[in-house]
A and B are shown apart, each in its own frame.
Chain A
Amino acid sequence: MSIEAPRQISMLDALREALELEMASDPNVIILGEDVAGGAGLGAPYEGSMGGTFGVTRGLFEKFGGRRVRDTPISEAGFVGAAIGAAVAGMRPVVDLMWSNFALLSFDQIANQAAKLRYMFGGQSGVPMVLRMAMGAGLSAGGQHSDTLYSLFTHIPGLKVVVPSNAYDAKGLLAQAIRDDDPVLFFEHMSLYPKKADVPEGRYAIDLGRARVVKQGSDVTIVAIAAMVERALAAADLLAAEGIDAEVVDPRTLSPLDERSILDSVAKTHRLIVVDESPPRCGIAGDIAGLVAQHIPSELRSGVRLLTCPHTPVPFSPTLEARYVPSVERVAATARELCGHG
């Protein structure tokens, strides 16, 4: 591992770097998905020209060829199933599902096959496969192109769920997801694709199951997921000016979940807010609250607050969508109330 002088690149470019570096170091890593090459089979100059709907895989077809960067028809059950089979037969497929909603077309493959194969077969084989998918409200993409389905998959034993909040983490977590021997669902928030951060050029990996305390604080713990991390940080800035010292914790992966880091933070601040851009029922926000209630109830000085979306599909119109996602102001107001500054 070599870490050079930092440079700023977008999360989108960071993800591409992780794919390229892992593919270069392991010939068994292959990429499957709709438009991952783009124009495959048409010959130059069309072949490889799309590089995925968002451009994450751009240039990889040219570098690694059509055997390793394979466009698929629009048939999610078929190609996710094929990725599982390829994984048990020695490959490390990285599947681009485009939008997380499309994962639902392959739900049987993910939940009944990939998740259970190791367990049902007594540990004979794992499924070293990564399913990458974009998610999140904010683009007026509407009800079927915006869902954040990470809680749904976190519920299923046998899967791992990764939710990066920045370019640096995205690169290291994707590298680790590819090297992992279990199926990993990798959620990429669309609003984060263009956001830049310091990212080393070399190959590095971040362990799954390690949260990061993004900002230290002593008055209230704000656990925030994916794009909510930057909102939590913005709220923490507002609060600091008012004398409230918020700690922001980014779990980075929801399965496995770094319970220890969350509990340690709450034990220090005695207050908890979870900011989660997904519906409230059976969601990760409630799950984290339950964890604290179960393990350290006496540490809580006031109630827990869960800032989630309303229990509705993601709306289309910008005014509705803006109301749907927890805002910086809502996070700040909730912290004030919890800390008795309301």
Chain B
Amino acid sequence: MPSDDRSGNLAPGELLGLYRTMLTIRRFEERVTREFRRGKIPGFVHSYAGSEAIAVGVCAHLDDADMITSTHRGHGHCIAKGCDLRAMFAEVAGRVDGLCRGRGGSMHVADFSKGMLGANAIVGGGIGIATGAALAAQCSGSRAVAVAFFGDGAANQGVLHESMNLASIWRLPIVYVCENNGWAESTPASYASSIVRLADRAAGYAMEGVTVDAASVVDVHRAAGAAIERARAGSGPTFLEVTTRRFEGHFVGDPAKYRNEDVAELRISDPIADARSLLLSSGLFTDGDLQALESAVDVSIDQAADWALESEWPDPESVERDVYAPTGVVQ
């Protein structure tokens, strides 16, 4: 790849991989939205469309031993962390073949085998857990790091501040990734937060605070790489704020009448379109190459969704299962 500033130090193959994963997330969300509107998905769902570069740019530096916690808007984190698309879709659809056997749903997808410690429907709910995962990594002397994903709404939760303080005094291997999409449901961050740049809060905990924008997966990838390297080296936590845009309402079906912004204009800052143009401008990939990849992504999503929607519903008689450990004790 040419030494283009916009591509950072990413090898062409790497950028192609990030593009593919971002597109997978976008297509997954589009299919979920369609199935939700058709009544095939119970509950409610929150689309990650527009923020794909964050999950993908961060998780590209992680392996299965590294642990993340996610949010109610968590499909992107799951896919970026390597969760199986079919089992994920089945979980969102409440089916027995879901990652959580249909117990969790969209807001509680987890795959511990991939280090995905769960989406969380309490705003800020995963932050303490990720901090503890980092504590365990430190206690056991492993090289693993933890990442807590959360939004600008959670930036005002006490548990974030308590956790950042703990991580700082104990120098835990963790990165706090704040996805600042400007909205906590209908409440703008400009109203709800005492400061504009949320990364400034890091200074209160003697922590590195960095802000990048999600329009460029390259930027996110670079900033996340530095933060994760710092964590792995035992140099302590980082607060990484990524400004982004919520392409949809708070949830699928939200009329979003409170929005005072032009959504079409927001969509101009699309990390997927940006990465595509970067790949083309590298001269290493033709439009045809990318179209072939895009078709393959479409097929994988269609197969996952079709498989999931054919999956069985959980047996009603299993309702009392898994409240406690099967034996309850370890001898």
Which residue numbers of A lie inside 8 Å of B, CB to CB?
28, 30, 67-68, 70, 72-73, 75, 77-91, 93, 108-109, 112-113, 117-126, 128, 157-158, 160, 176, 179-182, 207-209, 256
Q: Complex Cα distance A86/B129, Å?
A: 7
Return B311 CB to nearest CB of chain A, in Å: 14
Chain B residue with minimal CB distance to A93? B132
Chain A residue with minimal CB distance to B331? A179
Query: Are A86 and B132 neighbours in the complex by a CB distance under 8 Å?
Result: yes
Q: Complex Cα distance A113/B130, Å?
A: 12
**CB neighbours of A112 from chain B (8 A):** 122, 125
Q: Complex Cα distance A77/B328, Å?
A: 26
Q: Given A121-B112, A121-B118, A84–B128 Cβ distance below 8 Å?
A: yes
Q: Complex Cα distance A235/B131, Å?
A: 49
Q: Given A77-B158, A81-B163, A109-B128, A180–B135 Cβ distance below 8 Å?
A: no
Query: Are A67 and B139 neighbours in the complex by a CB distance under 8 Å?
Result: yes
Q: Complex Cα distance A79/B62, Å?
A: 25
Chain A residue with minimal CB distance to B325? A181
Return B239 CB to nearest CB of chain A, in Å: 15
**CB neighbours of A179 from chain B (8 A):** 329-331
Chain A residue with minimal CB distance to B130? A85
Query: Are B118 and A180 neighbours in the complex by a CB distance under 8 Å?
Result: no
Query: Are B132 and A118 neighbours in the complex by a CB distance under 8 Å?
Result: no
**CB neighbours of B191 from chain A (8 A):** none
Q: Can you list, as one digit per residue, whether each of B124-145 has a CB less than 8 Å from chain A (1) or not (0)? A: 0101111111111111100000
Within 8 A of A (CB), among B239-257: none
Contact of B125 among A70, A113, A124 (CB under 8 A): A113
Q: Complex Cα distance A336/B140, Å?
A: 59
Return B16 CB to nearest CB of chain A, in Å: 32
Query: Are B322 and A119 neighbours in the complex by a CB distance under 8 Å?
Result: yes
Return B257 CB to nearest CB of chain A, in Å: 30
Contact of A75 among B133, B135, B166 (CB under 8 A): B166
Q: Complex Cα distance A86/B67, Å?
A: 11
Return A64 CB to nearest CB of chain B, in Å: 11
Query: Are A78 and B162 neighbours in the complex by a CB distance under 8 Å?
Result: yes
10 A-B pairs besides A88-B129, A179-B329 with CB distance below 8 A are A72-B166, A73-B169, A81-B127, A82-B132, A83-B132, A85-B146, A89-B136, A124-B113, A179-B330, A181-B325
Return B233 CB to nearest CB of chain A, in Å: 18
Query: Are B169 and A90 neighbours in the complex by a CB distance under 8 Å?
Result: no
Q: Can you list, as one digit per residue, whether each of B142-165 has a CB less than 8 Å from chain A (1) or not (0)? A: 000010000000000011001101
Query: Are A120 and B100 neighbours in the complex by a CB distance under 8 Å?
Result: yes
**CB neighbours of A81 from chain B (8 A):** 127-129, 131-132, 159, 162-163
Q: Given A81-B132, A180-B329, A123–B159 Cβ distance below 8 Å?
A: no
25 contacts between A and B (CB under 8 A): A77-B159, A78-B166, A79-B162, A82-B131, A86-B135, A87-B132, A89-B133, A89-B136, A91-B140, A112-B125, A113-B122, A113-B125, A119-B323, A120-B108, A121-B100, A121-B110, A122-B98, A122-B99, A122-B102, A122-B104, A124-B99, A124-B100, A125-B110, A157-B323, A256-B328
Query: Are B165 and A78 neighbours in the complex by a CB distance under 8 Å?
Result: yes
Chain B residue with minimal CB distance to A115? B323
Query: Are B103 and A119 neighbours in the complex by a CB distance under 8 Å?
Result: yes
Query: Are A86 and B136 neighbours in the complex by a CB distance under 8 Å?
Result: yes
Query: Are B125 and A73 neighbours in the complex by a CB distance under 8 Å?
Result: no
Chain A residue with minimal CB distance to B111? A124
Return B145 CB to nearest CB of chain A, in Å: 11
Return A32 CB to nearest CB of chain B, in Å: 8
Q: Given A78-B128, A85-B131, A90-B140, A124–B330 Cβ distance below 8 Å?
A: no
Interface centre among A67, A73, A86, A179 (most CB of B within 10 A): A86
Query: Are B321 and A123 neighbours in the complex by a CB distance under 8 Å?
Result: yes
Q: Complex Cα distance A121/B101, Å?
A: 8
Return B306 CB to nearest CB of chain A, in Å: 22
Q: Given A125-B112, A207-B329, A77–B104 Cβ distance below 8 Å?
A: no
B117 at the binding interface (Cβ < 8 Å): yes
